Amino acid sequence: MDTLERIKQQIENHALLLYMKGTPQFPQCGFSGQVVHILKICKAKFAYVNILENLDIRQTLPIYANWPTFPQLYLNGELLGGCDIVTELFEKGELQTQLAAAGVLADNMEAVAAEV
């Protein structure tokens, strides 16, 4: 499977997917850390891909998404945006509404992250 097909499959198979630098436990950039922090506050269940360990995805995803920077957060196959947009949606309360409608909020008191 080529990289573009792998990206498409990852996005299709995960309701909430974060392409980030590092991991939720150890973000490797402040912007990725900010998005993870917001998802944890929202108690979201999300999958993630560490683009620092996946050079082919790091190079191909910006072309596929027509979005040059990371992190990139996808909800139900659609790019929500990067750190600034996710933060703005969160501050307006719109992110929480979208996450609840998508059914990606954790039943327990903590966010759940799974590596793709």
Binding residues: 21, 29, 58, 70, 83-84
DSSP secondary-structure letter at 27? B
Q: How far apart are CA 86 and CA 115, in angstroms?
A: 20
Q: How far apart are CA 102 and CA 70, in angstroms?
A: 23
Q: Are strands 45-50 and 72-75 parallel, antiparallel or unpaired?
A: unpaired
Q: How far apart are CA 70 and CA 51, in angstroms?
A: 9
Binding site as annotated, residues for [2Fe-2S] cluster:
29
Binding site as annotated, residues for glutathione:
21, 58, 70, 83-84
End-to-end alpha-carbon separation of the chain, Å?
15
